[in-house]
Structure 1
Amino acid sequence: MEAPAILVRDLVKRFPNQAHNVLENVSFSVAAGECVALLGPSGCGKTTLLRLLMGIEAPTSGTLVVEESLRSRLAYVFQEPRLVPWRTTLENVLLPFELTGSLTAETRELAVARLRELGLGERLAHFPRELSGGMQMRVALARALVTRPRVLLLDEPFAALDERTRFRLEDLLLELRAEYDLQYVFVTHSIAEAVYLGDRVLLLNNQGRLHADERVSLPPRDQDLKLQPEFNRYVRALSQSFHALEVTA
């Protein structure tokens, strides 16, 4: 049996000076190539779990293992684009190479290629203030992709965008998955977005426990799928689970 890409067992996280654990005995595994959505109410530990996967935070107890070949191939995309305001689009994407002292003509060409693939080839010299919110998020995605990751960790990257832009970027993420053989763990507050983007949806409750693990078996995704009965069956089932959290909280 192939080892999982990510293994989490009995994971506990508590921050100093806090009375309660943020995450409480969370256990799950993610298969190679599988994409997972993390869903739950505000403050349930979704972002903390993502930061633990990235290695930004350390567990209080329990096991968290990222498969060896993936450990150095993780990239994190924040809820906000976090672009440096005085740097151009291209300069923002080149930042990882500058920070690691690996900026070369080849990495510059790679950055330009990624930006062109994301529809930003005419915006290389623009500053963040000259870009729309959707464009800024595409720059953030390009900055993550330029490091050639195998796994993307995304913390509600589309939450602040209008619906039309969000739908376009959802489809872009699916295209990137196919083109670059990526897998991702995606934090969201949107049940429909979780179903649309995830092979599985992990639902955390207010106590930071894993409440549900729903496998999503749907045909290739496009926005028309959201109008289909099978899509809405998953949305209804997860909505009921989400409502149960509120009743038992």
Structure 2
Amino acid sequence: MKLDKNFFSENIRTLLYALIIAIIIRSLLIQPFYIPSSSMEPTLLVGDRLFVTKYSYGYSKHSFPFSPPILNKRILFNNPERGDVVVFKTPADNRTDYIKRLIGLPGDKIQFINSNLYLNSSEILKSKILIKNKIYCGNRVIDVYKFEEILPNGKKFHTVYLKDYTYQNSDVFTVPENHYFFLGDNRDCSKDSRYLTSVGYVHKDNLVGKAQFIFFSSDRNIGSIFAFWKWHKSIRFNRTFDKIN
């Protein structure tokens, strides 16, 4: 069988077009992410795969693969809302993706007093939930209290705290202009804006997108996704297409 001389060039062109379309979708519309750590439990579990919308807060150089210097500031900017679960590039290297919950807006003052979270001198209301008292912290299982917290804008979500409340008191964190303050929902097992040398305050240009929903989830402690005979145990079917609160 004799191939048309344009066969290979046409296929290369098709693959190139497909790659360009994929990059456009990933950069401007939606991008999948995998959750590798337990810092956002109970909201996000290790093994969750989720979709993040890139257009939610506008675009910066970090909207594109490898953060090319094609934008010197964020364009089409939309202000994030307190309580959003956000993917951002860490200020320490402008390369690593983190996902945390937005707690502090520019100008806000955040402080922990006796393990209670204060925002602008007002305590964030939380009520204890008694349905779960163990959760992951890395590879360890830890004893925790689980709470429902309510932010001033009415946003409700679940958090967990170690039973011995290891993070009890802090200095006052004052969020600079054009920056945001993030916390993990697994409050005693999260590297977040409380740690100024590694994460700290996050500039608006470092925002990547808003976490929207989980499209797949599997428990790696039960078995690899390739171990199909364990799928009935490892795949968390009840989390499929869960909206991220």
State the TM-score, normalizing by the size of structure 1: 0.25
More helix by share: 1
- Where relative contact order (Cα < 8 A, 6+ residues apart) is larger, the structure is 1
More strand by share: 2
